[in-house]
Amino acid sequence: MRTTLWAVGAVSAVTAAAGCDVGPRAEFEPPHVHVVETRPADGDGTDCADSDPDCGVSRRPRIVVRYDRPLWPEPERFREVLVRTGRAGVRITSARYDVLDRTLSYELGPRLRPRTLYRVELADPAEGFTPRAYDGGEVAPGAVPLEFSFLTQGEDAAAEEEVLEAPVPSCSRIAALLDRHCGNCHGADRPAMGLTLNSPEGLRATAIQRVARQTETGNDSGVPSLHPPRFGTAMPVIEPGKAAGSYLVYKLLSGSAPFEPCRSAECAELADQPGAEACEAWTELERERLRDWFVRGSPMPPEYSEQPRLDCASLRALLRFIDDGARCP
Ligand code: HEC
């Protein structure tokens, strides 16, 4: 199974290389990517007493792998995780990339067996088909192991509470949010760069699946490229279903001010969005690299603007809206 998956990766890697004439300069050596955290962590549950069935990792775990650099959103490279017990593998049903947190979250198919030791292997970086950074930086082993084990809860563990997530915000709510932060310059009237963000019609006509002007490099202007040879060329302003492939998101994340927790009445309605409490900004070094690689102009909103920078709840709501398909009827 592992070989098959990696073969898929190999094909796309070859295509990417073949279509490459604006690729990175030959002398450029992109910095490595490291895993900085896994959930579960190595050894979780292994010191649980048998008499306590609740102790241990949930039998419906979500495997979360957090990287230190933003990834190139290539879903075919996001399946490179193997979960098994003994020789039996566990099916991975979905892999989700969170661009702000730089995490890959994997959902597993069936419920895991009780009080069983599972082993998780992330693909060997030496094989070359692991996720990579947006500039091509490859994964390298670091302090957090690329293979780890955990023990599941006992048979009689108490049922887990269902967590009901707040609904994904609607297009009109997102347009109202963008009006507060961007509307002075990206309204209907002579919008900066032709980009109207403060109404569903504007989003549909100028942002969703429209190539960002600042990412146009070649002859193919106006045509979004889903598999560009170099990340950041011909990128849509908003790519439905993929915040990590949306130029607008990088214009927000490349700014230096922190994303503060929501403290105003305007964002209170979004405070129940998952993760709304904490949005860790990317490091200055990474933001600099992003600007070197593909993010042109100022971070948005620009520093000279009177409009406030996004708060954490609004940022999470926007990312979730895009990841959910950016539906603007
Ligand atoms: C004070 C005016 C102003 C505000 C407020 C502002 N922008 Fe901009 N925006 C500009 C200007 C000017 C440019 C072009 C120059 C630049 O990128 O620095 C631009 C460029 C952009 C681009 C690139 C478009 C392309 O086709 O390449 C995006 C995306 C963008 N803005 C998104 C936003 C978002 C999202 C907000 C709100 C969070 C925002 N802007 C707030 C003035 C503004």
Longest CA pairwise span in the chain (Å)? 69
- pLDDT of 26 reads 57
- pLDDT of 229 reads 77
- pLDDT of 190 reads 95
- Pocket residue to mutate for ligand 1, from 177, 193, 217, most atoms within 8 A of Cβ: 193
User: Closest Cα to atom 36, ligand 1: which residue?
Assistant: 182
- pLDDT of 225 reads 58
Average confidence (pLDDT) per 10 residues, the chain, 329 residues? 33 39 65 96 96 96 96 89 91 94 94 96 78 93 93 93 90 97 96 98 98 83 63 96 98 92 90 94 95 95 94 97 97
Q: Which residues line ligand 1 (CB under 6 A)?
A: 181-182, 184-186, 192-193, 195, 197, 212-214, 237, 247-248, 251-252, 297-298, 300-302, 305, 307, 310
Peptide bond into 40 cis (omega under 30): yes
- pLDDT of 197 reads 98
- pLDDT of 228 reads 55
- pLDDT of 150 reads 97
Tokens of 254: 């490349």
User: What distance in Å separates the CA atoms of residue 117 and residue 81, rounded to the nearest whole number?
Assistant: 16
* Residues across the chain: 329
- pLDDT of 112 reads 96
- pLDDT of 222 reads 59
Nearest Cα to Cα of residue 177 among 297, 262, 100, 256: 262
- pLDDT of 17 reads 41
- pLDDT of 10 reads 33
Contacts of 322 (CB under 8 A, 6+ apart): 238, 239, 240, 241, 242, 243, 246, 249
Atom of ligand 1 nearest to the CA of 309: 38
- pLDDT of 13 reads 37
Neighbours of 127 (CB within 10 A): 13
Rounded to 5°, angle at Cα 168 from 163 and 169: 135
